[in-house]
């Protein structure tokens, strides 16, 4: 009893302090279990990086032979000259619809419907090829708003659409810096931004699988991926669960690498009612380098715009049907920290259109990312290192939700200043699927047995949460309180060598990879020093290959261990062509 009283007092004090210090920017969050230093949107250390222009070109297509509006496809006869079409009697185009049958590996095309002037667009995914003197002179892929399989379903008044919009490699602060119009719009609408949202692993997969399945990616790979095919009966995706509840489901990305790309596994069947990926996968045929995953333009159109149009058309077609949709932008934000600037107006427009349509009044909108930028100059700065660990998570709830589920709403507002993880998003989605769980009296009783390790964001998340209680390795943990003790040069070299030795250990069994040697030490910091453990972060360069690595090394008495993954801060490009294992590629310099 006395103990809980003491805890209560501490909580109150911490909360008061939190508000004062967060507003002064000293801390991002400051709780009993986790203190995350604060940064302004643009600190001195990243100013020159953020001043650089986006590294992305405008999409242009000088050579267009065919064009479309929302209902038809027609030939631009004025382009004949530039296509050397001098015998019109041998010119024709071929219209084919296509779709993935069974699974995405199996794309099937219809027979050719010939035309040489204009043709109505009757299908969602269309391929056009034009011929002259029997040779192909033009090809393109088009997408039309012709979603055929709408399952009629009805909202219960307490149910909402769920719209999850992922933006790859986007930290919370980078979202504000690069997409100010969108972020201002959301702020006006009363968006809830989770300041202590901490990633749990290095790249997309370990951070997304907890959101999609409530399971770790390691577990999924071990237990549910058989011969590189994922068994989604064993590890059920969140959209399958929404489907069981009668929702229409949709999934899409603007890149083959995005959400559920074909990277480490494939899906045995078409995952959702509406699925953009067969189209995106086929468009690879337009490019010489079909393996590159981040093509930004299809002709004169950005791929991300294609994705946003797809999302909007779904909301139009499914106006009175409930929808769970998950979408992932990748082609712009993956490659450069300034690139998202070009998307700001389009995202703003999409969201304000959804607002004007009244769609947001019955929709839970979740904007999120998997992690911040993982390479380039920005991750070499303190701010960039922290931002890599703190992805965007912003949730917009309809006014009606706020008044219907008062306690749940109050809880999520408080959780803004708590340490949270992707597993919490999954738990929250389960609540939204089953809104009875959000009723005040139910929230009240569930709160009594709230778990420290993972929790719906609609329950009170305990302030004592720390990285170890939610399973986040020290290396990925943003709770550092700003403690950063420089260490002496001897200890520095010692720790740096421990890190390199650990990388070489990972490379054992890969004789095609060079053994790495320490070339440069950027810095080593002691970030935790209690009686039992010492935690160091170290940043080094190795040779050959010039890889820059960032690792967290823990000294437990005489034992030294690496926490989490060792991050690679610069690109390895083709240095690792001789290995396929994604976890090893980061370290391998081929002999």
The residues that touch ligand NAG, with contacts defined as CB under 6 A, are 33, 57-58, 69-72, 74, 97-99, 108-110, 118, 122-123, 289, 291, 358, 361, 399, 452, 464, 466, 468-469, 574, 577
User: What is d(CA 164, CA 185) in angstroms, rounded to the nearest whole number?
Assistant: 17
User: What is d(CA 93, CA 453) in angstroms, rounded to the nearest whole number?
Assistant: 59
User: What is d(CA 200, CA 513) in angstroms, rounded to the nearest whole number?
Assistant: 28
What's the min distance (Å) between Cβ of 40 and ligand NAG?
A: 28
If the CB atoms of residues 116 and 497 are measured against ligand NAG, the closer one turns out to be 116
Do residues 155 and 163 lie in contact, with contact meaning Cβ atoms separated by under 8 Å?
no
If the CB atoms of residues 97 and 256 are measured against ligand NAG, the closer one turns out to be 97
User: What is d(CA 128, CA 116) in angstroms, rounded to the nearest whole number?
Assistant: 11
If the CB atoms of residues 25 and 102 are measured against ligand NAG, the closer one turns out to be 102
If the CB atoms of residues 237 and 279 are measured against ligand NAG, the closer one turns out to be 279
What's the min distance (Å) between Cβ of 192 and ligand NAG?
A: 17
If the CB atoms of residues 72 and 187 are measured against ligand NAG, the closer one turns out to be 72
What's the min distance (Å) between Cβ of 516 and ligand NAG?
A: 18
Do residues 239 and 272 lie in contact, with contact meaning Cβ atoms separated by under 8 Å?
yes
Paired tokens of 84: 């050397």
If the CB atoms of residues 34 and 408 are measured against ligand NAG, the closer one turns out to be 34
If the CB atoms of residues 116 and 231 are measured against ligand NAG, the closer one turns out to be 116
Do residues 29 and 465 lie in contact, with contact meaning Cβ atoms separated by under 8 Å?
no
Using DSSP's 3-state secondary structure scheme, residue 359 falls into helix
Closest listed residue to residue 260, CA positions, set 278, 243, 282, 234: 278
What's the min distance (Å) between Cβ of 244 and ligand NAG?
A: 27
What's the min distance (Å) between Cβ of 340 and ligand NAG?
A: 15
Closest listed residue to residue 438, CA positions, set 446, 424, 414: 446
* Phi, psi for 540 (deg, rounded to 5): -135, 160
Neighbours of 536 (CB within 10 A): 27
User: What is d(CA 121, CA 68) in angstroms, rounded to the nearest whole number?
Assistant: 9
Q: Where are the alpha helices (DSSP H) in 390-488?
A: 399-404, 406-414, 422-433, 440-448
Neighbours of 367 (CB within 10 A): 24
557: exposed, middle or buried (Cβ count in 10 Å: 0-12, 13-18, 19+): exposed
What's the min distance (Å) between Cβ of 342 and ligand NAG?
A: 8
What's the min distance (Å) between Cβ of 381 and ligand NAG?
A: 25
If the CB atoms of residues 361 and 447 are measured against ligand NAG, the closer one turns out to be 361
Residue nearest to ligand NAG (CB): 358
If the CB atoms of residues 59 and 491 are measured against ligand NAG, the closer one turns out to be 59
User: What is d(CA 524, CA 513) in angstroms, rounded to the nearest whole number?
Assistant: 26
Do residues 542 and 500 lie in contact, with contact meaning Cβ atoms separated by under 8 Å?
yes
User: What is d(CA 489, CA 470) in angstroms, rounded to the nearest whole number?
Assistant: 34
What's the min distance (Å) between Cβ of 575 and ligand NAG?
A: 8
User: What is d(CA 210, CA 370) in angstroms, rounded to the nearest whole number?
Assistant: 11
Q: Please name the residue that has the structure tokens 């009757």.
A: 122
If the CB atoms of residues 224 and 477 are measured against ligand NAG, the closer one turns out to be 477
What's the min distance (Å) between Cβ of 59 and ligand NAG?
A: 9
What's the min distance (Å) between Cβ of 528 and ligand NAG?
A: 7
* Phi, psi for 535 (deg, rounded to 5): -115, 125
What's the min distance (Å) between Cβ of 357 and ligand NAG?
A: 7
Helices 204-213 and 422-433, interaxial angle, to 10°?
30
If the CB atoms of residues 48 and 58 are measured against ligand NAG, the closer one turns out to be 58
């Amino acid at each position: 009893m006395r103990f809980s009283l003491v805890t209560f007092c501490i909580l109150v004090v911490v909360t008061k302090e939190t508000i004062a210090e967060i507003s002064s920017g000293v801390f991002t969050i400051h709780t009993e279990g986790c203190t995350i230093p604060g940064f302004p949107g643009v600190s001195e250390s990243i100013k020159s990086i953020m001043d650089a222009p986006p590294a992305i070109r405008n999409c242009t297509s000088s050579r267009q032979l065919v064009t479309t509006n929302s209902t038809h496809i027609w030939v631009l006869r004025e382009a004949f000259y530039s296509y050397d079409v001098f015998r019109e009697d041998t010119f024709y185009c071929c219209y084919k619809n296509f779709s993935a049958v069974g699974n995405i590996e199996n794309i099937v095309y219809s027979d050719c419907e010939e035309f040489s002037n204009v043709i109505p667009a009757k299908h969602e995914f269309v391929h056009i090829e034009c011929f002259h003197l029997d040779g192909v002179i033009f090809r393109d892929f088009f997408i039309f708003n012709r979603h055929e399989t709408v399952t009629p379903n009805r909202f219960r008044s307490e149910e909402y659409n769920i719209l999850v919009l992922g933006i790859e490699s986007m930290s919370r602060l980078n979202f504000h810096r690069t997409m100010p119009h969108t972020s201002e719009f959301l702020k006006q609408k009363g968006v809830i931004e989770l300041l202590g949202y901490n990633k749990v692993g290095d790249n997309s997969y370990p951070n997304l699988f907890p959101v999609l399945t409530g399971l770790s990616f390691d577990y999924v790979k071990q237990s549910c991926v058989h011969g590189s095919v994922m068994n989604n009966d064993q590890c059920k995706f969140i959209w399958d669960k929404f489907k069981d509840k009668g929702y229409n489901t949709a999934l899409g990305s603007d890149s083959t690498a995005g959400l559920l790309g074909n990277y480490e596994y494939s899906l045995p069947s078409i995952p959702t009612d509406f699925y953009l990926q067969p189209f995106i996968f086929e468009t690879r045929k337009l490019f010489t380098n079909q393996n590159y995953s981040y093509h930004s333009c299809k002709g004169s159109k950005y791929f991300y715009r294609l994705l946003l149009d797809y999302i909007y058309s779904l909301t139009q077609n499914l106006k009175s049907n409930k929808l769970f949709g998950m979408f992932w932008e990748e082609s712009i934000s993956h490659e450069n920290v300034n690139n998202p600037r070009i998307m700001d107006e389009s995202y703003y427009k999409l969201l304000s259109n959804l607002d004007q349509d009244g769609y947001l009044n019955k929709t839970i909108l979740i904007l999120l990312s998997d992690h911040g930028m993982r390479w380039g100059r920005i991750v070499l700065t303190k701010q960039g290192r922290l931002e890599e660990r703190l992805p965007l998570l912003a949730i917009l709830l309809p006014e009606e939700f706020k008044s219907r589920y008062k306690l749940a709403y109050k809880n999520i507002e408080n959780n803004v200043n708590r340490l949270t993880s992707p597993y919490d998003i999954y738990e929250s989605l389960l609540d939204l699927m089953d809104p009875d769980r959000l009723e005040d009296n139910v929230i009240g009783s569930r709160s009594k047995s709230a778990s420290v390790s993972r929790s719906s964001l609609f329950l009170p998340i305990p302030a004592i949460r720390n990285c170890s209680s939610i399973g986040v390795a020290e290396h990925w943990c943003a709770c550092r309180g700003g403690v950063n003790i420089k260490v002496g040069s001897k200890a520095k070299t010692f720790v740096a060598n421990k890190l390199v030795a650990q990388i070489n250990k990972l490379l054992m069994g890969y004789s095609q990879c060079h053994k790495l040697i320490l070339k440069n030490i950027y810095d080593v910091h002691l970030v935790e020093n209690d009686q039992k453990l010492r935690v160091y972060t170290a940043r080094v360069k190795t040779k050959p290959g010039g890889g820059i690595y960032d690792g967290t090394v823990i000294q437990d008495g005489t034992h030294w261990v690496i926490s989490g993954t060792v991050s690679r801060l610069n690109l390895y490009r083709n240095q690792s062509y001789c290995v396929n294992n994604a976890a090893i590629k980061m370290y391998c310099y081929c002999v």
